[in-house]
Amino acid sequence: MQNSAVTARAHTNIALIKYWGKKDQQLILPMNGSLSLTLDKFYTDTSVEYLPNLNADVFYLNGTEVADPKITRFMDIVRQKTRSSNYALIKSTNHVPTAAGLASSASAYAALALAATAAAGQNFSLTELSRLARRGSGSATRSIFGGFAEWLPGTDDQSSYAQPLDFQTDWDLRMIAIVVDALPKKVSSRHGMQTVVETSPFYPAWIKSATQDLAAIKQAMQNNDFQRFGEIAESNALRMHALNLSAVPHFNYFEPQSLIAMQAVENLRAAGISCYYTMDAGPNVKVICKNKDLDVILDKLHHYFPSDHLLVAAAGPNVKLL
């Protein structure tokens, strides 16, 4: 076993076909497959060092020690898979607002999966890392890979992982994250999706439509059809948020500024600019567009939002050691 600290970097991903609900809570197996784009702008750097004198894992997030039982549970899985026994000193820095619907948990657990296994002297394949990262946060399974990634829902630990998708499009995609609120959200993703699975009368229809959306968006990518691609991503996001309104008790992640951002995108589209929005579990709106239209879209959004609330990202890379 190595005794020196190992640092890994993983980037966040934004789901274009959403994962919203688990069929296995412990293994984090999703009800339906999903598809995402990993982004270059937002990432997490995590270092792991196994120390024989520790009697528990010690975790620092952005320089502050945090007691997080989820990290300990995840590290127990790592120790089991790497046959290591020491506890770890973990230092993680998020270059993304935490818990604000910008997928910080995805980059966090993807980076931790690589750093923790490498620090234990193990060289896991990307697929093995994808399976492992899933145990920390479902969406982390996709952040192992750069660009587009599809999460295969699977039926057990072995069959549920992400794989990269390589479609030859000429889109030169950009994603504008409109930061409406960078504070932690009031309803966590885990709690929200579980409430929806247990109480929404529309949930069975969601699984069916999301599965159809996944097949359709891959076909749109195959056909180099950006309009269809954007329409599917937008409608899939809205259906996910409609589930939250149909849950008992109902909840939602929208803020007034979220609706302003969505309307601005629809107005741009009505004016002939090809752009679409998506939202995860948080109030921040992400605008999907081509790089050639970026300046026009930003100019319009500046009427409603300050410049430092408009964060532009392109496709990001695989997880890597630093």
Give CA separation, 195 vs 25, 30, 188, 243, 304, in Å: 13, 15, 11, 10, 33
136 and 63 housed in the same domain? yes
Tokens 């439509």 sit on residue: 209
109 and 154 housed in the same domain? yes
Please tell me whether residue 290 adopts helix, strand or coil conformation. Answer: strand
41 and 184 housed in the same domain? no
Q: How many domains does the chain have?
A: 2
Q: pLDDT averaged over the chain? A: 95
Beta pairing partners, 151: 34, 162
22: CB partners within 8 A, 6+ apart: 28, 29, 30, 31, 138, 193, 194, 197
Q: Which pTM value belongs to this model?
A: 0.95
pLDDT in tens, 157-208: 999 999 999 888 999 999 999 998 877 788 998 999 999 999 999 999 999 9
Report the CATH number at residue 302: 3.30.70.890
155 and 197 housed in the same domain? no
pLDDT in tens, 133-164: 999 999 999 999 999 999 999 999 999 999 99
pLDDT above 80 for 99: no
Instruction: Determine how β-strand 6-17 pairs with β-strand 22-24.
Output: unpaired
pLDDT band of 100, cuts 50, 70, 90: low
Please tell me whether residue 65 adopts helix, strand or coil conformation. Answer: strand
Cα 255-190-130 angle, rounded to 5 deg: 115
Q: What does the alpha-carbon distance between residue 293 and residue 274 come to, in Å, rounded to a whole number? A: 8
**Domain interval for residue 209:** 174-313
pLDDT above 90 for 293: yes
Which one-letter DSSP state was computed for residue 225? -
- Indicate the length of the chain as a whole number: 322
With contact defined as beta carbons under 8 Å apart, do 101 and 178 qualify?
Answer: no
112 and 213 housed in the same domain? no
With contact defined as beta carbons under 8 Å apart, do 34 and 298 qualify?
Answer: no
